[in-house]
Structure 1
Amino acid sequence: MAESGNWLVWALLSAVFAAATAVLAKIGVQGIDSDLATLVRTVVIGVLLSLFVLSTGKWSNPLQLPSRSLLFLFLSAVATGASWVCYFRALQVGPVSLVAPIDKLSVVLVIAFAFMFLGERPSTREWLAVGMIGAGAIMLAFKK
């Protein structure tokens, strides 16, 4: 039940917000425990999303969702939480200009996982682009 609209616009907005997240989080974790920072961020996200879902009339009982959907949303949440904990710890001890490129290796991993588990078949051109993304991220992270 995806909303109609241009996926590219949403994806670009996601990239902008993700970039802002990295810089804002780097500032936010200074002088505090990174796990506590992750908790605060998660609570804020939960409150904001709850208000958004309620105010737009999109609320329905989550327990009535298909069990397969609930399972995979749960697993996705666990992966997200683990990612955020690791990301905030990395930001606390490393420069954002080095942490963020390595984090973006997730793009390469997403495409590899989509190939292995979802049956997606990128073209040769797309695999080349994935390789370039990976190489670029590594070059940024390990600059001398």
Structure 2
Amino acid sequence: MSWLIYAILSAVSAAFVSIFGKMGLEKVDANTATAVRSVIMTLFLFSVVAFQGNISKIPEIIGSKKTFMFVILSGLAGATSWLFYFLALKTGKVSQVAPIDKLSVVIATVAAIAFFGERLSLLNGIGVVLIALGVLFTALH
């Protein structure tokens, strides 16, 4: 499969995180729900890794200090993202919270330019600006 198909599947899955998350948060603490969700994700993901026969590759990640440090930082960033996302969903509208979350596209693009020296074409730059404007227009209605 190409990256585009995976990206579309990611977007569809992420949309249902918002919908199912909002439904599940009605009468529970958002942080506790996020923790339970994380355990479910962990079990599911380790099942996928085991099914693929890649459990033996875990020491490669842990054995490389640099790789492991960035995996840890990515995990912490993901965890805080989901804590804040579920807190926002608890009291906000999905139609407002989800678009603001997509500012991550703009932030990630700026960070990729700063950290990796990635370059944007004029068309890409316009697209990023439109995403930012779209987020604002959608979320602040």
Query: Secondary structure at the residue paired with 1:87?
Result: helix
Aligned position for 1:93: 91
Matched residue type, 1:40? V
Q: Which residue of 19, 36, 41 corresponds with 2:37?
A: 41
Which blocks of at least 5 consecutive residues in structure 2 are unaligned?
none
Matched residue type, 2:105? V
CA RMSD of aligned residues (A): 0.9
The aligned runs of 1:59-74 (5 Å cut-off) are 59-65=55-61, 66-74=64-72
Matched residue count: 139
State the distance in 1 between where 2:107 and 2:93 align.
22
Shift of 1:137: 0.6
State the distance in 1 between where 2:50 and 2:11 align.
26
Q: Which residue of 15, 23, 35 corresponds with 2:11?
A: 15
Q: Which residue of 114, 131, 136 corresponds with 1:133?
A: 131
State the distance in 2 between where 1:64 and 1:73 align.
12
Aligned position for 2:20: 24
Shift of 1:64: 3.2
Shift of 1:61: 4.8
Aligned position for 2:113: 115
Query: Secondary structure at the residue paired with 1:64?
Result: helix
Query: Secondary structure at the residue paired with 1:60?
Result: helix
State the distance in 2 between where 1:71 and 1:62 align.
14
Task: Give the 4+ runs in structure 1 shifted more than 6 A.
Answer: none
Shift of 1:45: 0.2
State the distance in 1 between where 2:90 and 2:65 align.
37
Shift of 1:52: 1.2
Specify which structure has the higher proportion of helix: 2
Shift of 1:59: 1.2
- Deviations, residues 106-139 of structure 1 (Å, cap 9, x unaligned): 1111101100111111111101100000100110
State the distance in 2 between where 1:132 and 1:47 align.
38
Which blocks of at least 5 consecutive residues in structure 1 are unaligned?
none
